[in-house]
Homo-oligomer: A and B are copies of this chain.
Amino acid sequence: MKLFRKYLPILTWGAEYNRQTMVNDLIVACIVTVMLIPQSLAYAMLAGLPPQVGLYASMAPLLMYAIFGTSRTLAVGPVAVASLMTAAAAGTIASQGAPEYLGAAIAMAMVSGLLLVGMGMLRLGFLANFLSHPVISGFITASGLQIAMGQVAPLIGIKGHGESFFDVVQSMLPHLGDVNPATAAVGITSLVFLFWVRSGLKPLLQKIGMGERSAGMLAKLGPIVAIGLTTVSVWSFGLADQGVKVVGTVPKGLPTLAMPSFEMDLWLKILVPALLISIVGYVESISVALTLAAKRRQRIDPDQELIALGMSNVGSAVSGGFPVTGGFSRSIVNFDAGAETPAAGAFTAIGIAIATLFLTPLLYFLPNATLAATIIVAVLSLVDLGAVKHTWRYSKADGAAMAATILLTLIEGVELGLITGVGLSIFLHLYKTSKPHVAVVGQLPGTMNFRNTLRHGVVTDPAILSLRIDASLYFPNARFIEEMVNDAVAANSKIRHVILECPAVNTIDSSGLESLEAINQRLKEGDVNLHLAEVKGPVMDRLLGTHFLEELTGEVHLTQYDAVARINPELAISTMEKKRVVKG
Contact = CB atoms under 8 A, between A and B. Distances in A.
Interface of A: 126, 128-134, 286-287, 290-291, 293-300, 302, 391, 393-395, 397-399, 425-426, 429-432, 434-437, 455, 470-471, 474-480, 482-483, 486-487, 489-491, 493, 503-504, 506-507, 509-511, 513-515, 518, 521-523, 525-526, 537-538, 542, 545-546
Q: Count chain B CB atoms within 10 A of each CB in A129, A290, A478, A525 and give the residue with the most.
A: A129
B511 A475 contact: no
Nearest to A542: B394
A134 B514 CA distance: 9
Nearest to A485: B294
A118 to B, nearest CB: 16
Given A398-B510, A429-B474, 10 more contacts: A129-B434, A133-B511, A134-B511, A297-B493, A297-B526, A300-B483, A300-B486, A394-B510, A398-B509, A504-B504
The 10 closest A-B pairs by CB, nearest first: A294-B522, A132-B475, A398-B510, A133-B511, A126-B434, A133-B514, A299-B490, A295-B525, A132-B511, A470-B506
B479 A526 contact: no
Nearest to A393: B545
Nearest to A434: B126
A305 to B, nearest CB: 10
Per assembly, the copies of the chain total 2
A290 B523 CA distance: 11
16 contacts: A126-B431, A126-B434, A129-B479, A129-B480, A132-B509, A133-B475, A290-B486, A291-B518, A296-B526, A297-B526, A300-B483, A398-B510, A398-B511, A399-B510, A429-B475, A470-B506
Nearest to A428: B509
Contacts of A437: 506, 538
Nearest to A475: B132
A503 B506 CA distance: 11
Contact of A486 (B293, B477, B479, B546): B293
A486 B289 CA distance: 11
A201 to B, nearest CB: 25
A192 to B, nearest CB: 32
A219 to B, nearest CB: 21
A428 to B, nearest CB: 9
Contacts of A293: 486, 490
Contact of A291 (B131, B295, B476, B522): B522
Contact of A482 (B290, B299, B477): B290
A479 B126 CA distance: 8
